[in-house]
Amino acid sequence: MEFGLTLMGRAIGYLPYLVYALHGMAERGLGKGRVRFVLAGVSALESTGIRHAIFDEVTQRLEERPELVSDLSQLIDDRLDQLPASGSDDPLKIRFITPLRIKVRGDLQPQANFELLVRNLLRRISMLMIVHGDQPLDLDFKGLLEFARSVEARSSALRWWDWGRYSARQETVMKLGGFVGEAEFAGDRLQDFLPLIVAGELLRIGSATSFGLGRYELCFGGNRACQ
């Protein structure tokens, strides 16, 4: 089994405790049958896709490497460099990989227009910067939302997916549904939103992101497949 964790801000300093907790989980076992396992290794993943081993089973030592901790702005720049070249009029396709849960006045939305996506991205990133950043997010929120309203959905293939998880605390199965699939947007100045949308790729949006929900990927240009 292989899985990933995204640590932000002050949480990065808790990496040794997370590794220790995984050791305890391995000894206690997973699932109803308490299946035991071995923590075989831990790697730090660069935005370029390169993995750096920082822990292995043999040495039982965690190598903390501060140089592998990346600033969000650098991660965004690296991701933008990976995207194919596009023109200002090229459509933007977003593939929602795990259920995206967005509420409006307490109601879960079966899909989202571009403005709603931008609004939730601004909210999430600004809150994270208040908690973990050095300064508040300095953007023209009102202006961005006005431009976002002019972006239209050219095509949409979204569907609802009920994802369930068992809550040991509540002793019941909880459903955390949201929409998945693809949507393509077109409009003026889409390029201006790219850094914001790329940040959402890295940070996820919507509720229950700590469970891996709200993950998506993007690409520009006609029928190009998302990378």
Number of independent structural domains in the chain? 2
DSSP letter for 190, please.
Answer: G
Q: Is the dihedral of CA 127, 128, 132, 133 positive or negative?
A: negative
pLDDT digits (tens, 9 = 90+) for 130-150: 998 888 888 889 999 999 999
User: Residue 202 falls within a domain, yes or no?
Assistant: yes
Considering only CA atoms, which of 91, 44, 96, 97 is closest in space to residue 67? 44
Q: Is the dihedral of CA 184, 185, 191, 193 positive or negative?
A: negative
Reported confidence tier of residue 223, pLDDT bands at 50, 70, 90: very low
Which pLDDT value is given to residue 87? 57
Are residues 29 and 137 located together in one domain of the fold?
A: no
- Distance between terminal CA atoms of the chain? 24
Residue 201 · residue 210 · CB < 8 Å: no
pTM of the model: 0.84
User: Residue 34 falls within a domain, yes or no?
Assistant: yes
Q: SS3 of 110, please?
A: coil
User: Residue 139 falls within a domain, yes or no?
Assistant: yes
* Residue after which a domain boundary falls, among 68, 90, 112: 68
Are residues 214 and 105 located together in one domain of the fold?
A: yes
Are residues 57 and 78 located together in one domain of the fold?
A: no
User: Residue 94 falls within a domain, yes or no?
Assistant: yes
pLDDT digits (tens, 9 = 90+) for 167-209: 777 777 888 899 999 999 998 888 889 999 999 999 999 999 9
User: What percent of the chain clears pLDDT 70, i.e. is strictly above it?
Assistant: 94
Residue 217 · residue 182 · CB < 8 Å: no
Are residues 88 and 61 located together in one domain of the fold?
A: no
Which pLDDT value is given to residue 118? 96
Are residues 98 and 161 located together in one domain of the fold?
A: yes
pLDDT digits (tens, 9 = 90+) for 147-162: 999 999 999 999 999 9
CA 14 → CA 7, 38, 53, 195, distances in Å? 9, 21, 18, 28
Q: Quick check: 227 pLDDT over 70? A: no
Are residues 135 and 206 located together in one domain of the fold?
A: yes
Residue 195 · residue 77 · CB < 8 Å: no
* Residue after which a domain boundary falls, among 18, 43, 68: 68
Q: Quick check: 163 pLDDT over 90? A: no
User: Residue 225 falls within a domain, yes or no?
Assistant: no
Joined tokens for residue 27: 């000894």
User: Residue 197 is part of which domain span?
Assistant: 72-220
pLDDT digits (tens, 9 = 90+) for 31-60: 778 999 999 899 998 877 789 999 888 888
Are residues 102 and 188 located together in one domain of the fold?
A: yes
* Residue after which a domain boundary falls, among 18, 39, 68: 68
Are residues 214 and 186 located together in one domain of the fold?
A: yes
Torsion angle, alpha carbons of 206, 14, 41, 45, to 10: 50
